[in-house]
C-alpha cells in the first residue's frame, strides 16, 4: 500500500478533525483571531467558487469579484430598502450572482485564454463604474454602510456576537463547500476537467462543452455571490472595493498558490494570503515583497500549488535516497471511472 492511499484512508478522519477544531474555535480564540478566521472561511468559499472556472474548467477569469460584489450589493440593498431577513437575502444574492453569470456568460465564453481574462476583467470594471456612478442607489464610493449582522437565534445570548456570526458563516460556508465537493466529483465536474485538458476531444466524445462551461460559470457566479453576501454582513458594509479587480486578482492568486484544480488548494491559498496580509504586515512593512517572493517560490518549487507539498517532499526524499521517484498511484481495478476522485484524474492527466 503506497502513501497516497494511506492519506486517502485518513481523509474522512482529517475532515472530521478539522470540523471539530472549527467548531470549538470560538471557545479558544479571542475576538480578533476569530474574526480573521471568519474572513478566511468567507474567502475560502470565494476562492473555491473561482476554482470551479479557473481550476477545473481552465477558464482564466480575472473578473470573479463582479459576483462577489453583486452578492454584497444584493444583501446591502435588500437590507437598506426592504429590511429583508438574512436567509432570504443570501438566497437572492445567490440568484443575482447566477443571473449575472447567465447574462455575461454567452459573451465571455466566446473568447479564449488571454481574451477571456481581459473580457471578464473589463466587464467587472464596467460593473464597478456603474456602481460608482449610480450614487443615488448604490451610494457611490461611500457604499452602503450599516448592514445589520444576522445572528443565529438558537445561539443568542449564549455566545458573543462575533462567535455567533462565525457559526453562521461556518454553517453556510460548510454547506456550500460540501455541495462544491459534490459538484466537482460528479460526472459534470470530471467533464469540466476534461474540457480544461482537451476541449476538442471532449466535444468529439459528444459532450456539450459549451453548455458545461456555461453551467460552471453560472455555478461559480452563484457561490461567489454567496461569499460576497456573507462578507457584506461580516463587514456591515458594502462598497465598490468589493467589486474591484484587485479582489479578483487576489482570488486568482489564492487559487493558483494553493493549487488550481485541486479541491483543498484554494483553502490553503486563502489562509496563506490572508495570514500574510494580517500577520506579516503587523511586524514588517515589506509584506508586499514577501508575498511576491512567495508567489515566485511557489511557481518554481511547487508549480501545482502548495497543496502538493507532501507529494513533493516525498518525491524529493525518494530522489535523495537515489531511488526513482514514486510511481504515480494507479486507481484500483475494481473502481469504476465515475468513482475516481478529481485529484486522481488530475494526477493521471
Residues of this chain that interact with other proteins (CB under 8 A) are: 54, 60, 107, 110-115, 117-119, 121-123, 125-126, 128-129, 132-133, 249, 252-253, 256-257, 260, 286, 288-289, 291-296, 298-300, 303
CB 59 within 8 Å of CB 244: no
Q: C-beta of 343: minimal distance to other proteins in Å?
A: 18
Residue 8 or 290 with smaller CB distance to other proteins: 290
Residue 236 or 287 with smaller CB distance to other proteins: 287
Q: C-beta of 54: minimal distance to other proteins in Å?
A: 8
Q: C-beta of 318: minimal distance to other proteins in Å?
A: 22
- Spell out the residues 6+ positions from residue 151 whose beta carbon is closer than 8 angstroms to its own: 161, 164, 165, 168
Residue 160 or 284 with smaller CB distance to other proteins: 284
- Spell out the residues 6+ positions from residue 191 whose beta carbon is closer than 8 angstroms to its own: 202, 207, 212
3-state secondary structure (DSSP) of residue 329? coil
Residue 33 or 129 with smaller CB distance to other proteins: 129
Lookup: cell for 309? 507539498
Q: How far apart are CA 341 and CA 132, in angstroms?
A: 43
Residue 15 or 275 with smaller CB distance to other proteins: 275
Q: How far apart are CA 317 and CA 319, in angstroms?
A: 5
Q: How far apart are CA 180 and CA 189, in angstroms?
A: 9
Q: C-beta of 204: minimal distance to other proteins in Å?
A: 19
Task: Give the rounded distance of the alpha carbon of 114 from its chain centre.
Answer: 21
Q: C-beta of 228: minimal distance to other proteins in Å?
A: 20
Amino acid at each position: 500500500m503506497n502513501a497516497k492511499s494511506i492519506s486517502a484512508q485518513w481523509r474522512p478522519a482529517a475532515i472530521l478533525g478539522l470540523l471539530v477544531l472549527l467548531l470549538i474555535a470560538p471557545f479558544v480564540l479571542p475576538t480578533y483571531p476569530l474574526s480573521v478566521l471568519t474572513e478566511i472561511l468567507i474567502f475560502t468559499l470565494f476562492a473555491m467558487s473561482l476554482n470551479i472556472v479557473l481550476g477545473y474548467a481552465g477558464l482564466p477569469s480575472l473578473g470573479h469579484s463582479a459576483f462577489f460584489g453583486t452578492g454584497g450589493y444584493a444583501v446591502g440593498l435588500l437590507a437598506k430598502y426592504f429590511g429583508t431577513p438574512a436567509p432570504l437575502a443570501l438566497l437572492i444574492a445567490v440568484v443575482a450572482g447566477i443571473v449575472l453569470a447567465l447574462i455575461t456568460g454567452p459573451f465571455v465564453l466566446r473568447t479564449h485564454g488571454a481574451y477571456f481574462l481581459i473580457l471578464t476583467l473589463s466587464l467587472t470594471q464596467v460593473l464597478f463604474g456603474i456602481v460608482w456612478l449610480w450614487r443615488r442607489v448604490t451610494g457611490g464610493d461611500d457604499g452602503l454602510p450599516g448592514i445589520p449582522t444576522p445572528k443565529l437565534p438558537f445561539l443568542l445570548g449564549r455566545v458573543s456576537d462575533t462567535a455567533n456570526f462565525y457559526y453562521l458563516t461556518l454553517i453556510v460556508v460548510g454547506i456550500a463547500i460540501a455541495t462544491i465537493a459534490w459538484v466537482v466529483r460528479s460526472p459534470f465536474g470530471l467533464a469540466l476537467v476534461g474540457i480544461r485538458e482537451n476541449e476538442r476531444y471532449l466535444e468529439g466524445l459528444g459532450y456539450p462543452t459549451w453548455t458545461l462551461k456555461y453551467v460552471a460559470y453560472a455555478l461559480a457566479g452563484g457561490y461567489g455571490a454567496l461569499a460576497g453576501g456573507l462578507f457584506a454582513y461580516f463587514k456591515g458594509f458594502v462598497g465598490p472595493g468589493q467589486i474591484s479587480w484587485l479582489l479578483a486578482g487576489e482570488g486568482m492568486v489564492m487559487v493558483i498558490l494553493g493549487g488550481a484544480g485541486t479541491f483543498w488548494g484554494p483553502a490553503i491559498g486563502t489562509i496563506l494570503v490572508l495570514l500574510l496580509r494580517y500577520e506579516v504586515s503587523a511586524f514588517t512593512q515589506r509584506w508586499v515583497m514577501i508575498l511576491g517572493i512567495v508567489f515566485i517560490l511557489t511557481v518554481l518549487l511547487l508549480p501545482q500549488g502548495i497543496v502538493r507539498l507532501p507529494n513533493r517532499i516525498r518525491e524529493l526524499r525518494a530522489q535523495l535516497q537515489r531511488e526513482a521517484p514514486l510511481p504515480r498511484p494507479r486507481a484500483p481495478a475494481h473502481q469504476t471511472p465515475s468513482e475516481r476522485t478529481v485529484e486522481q484524474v488530475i494526477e493521471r492527466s
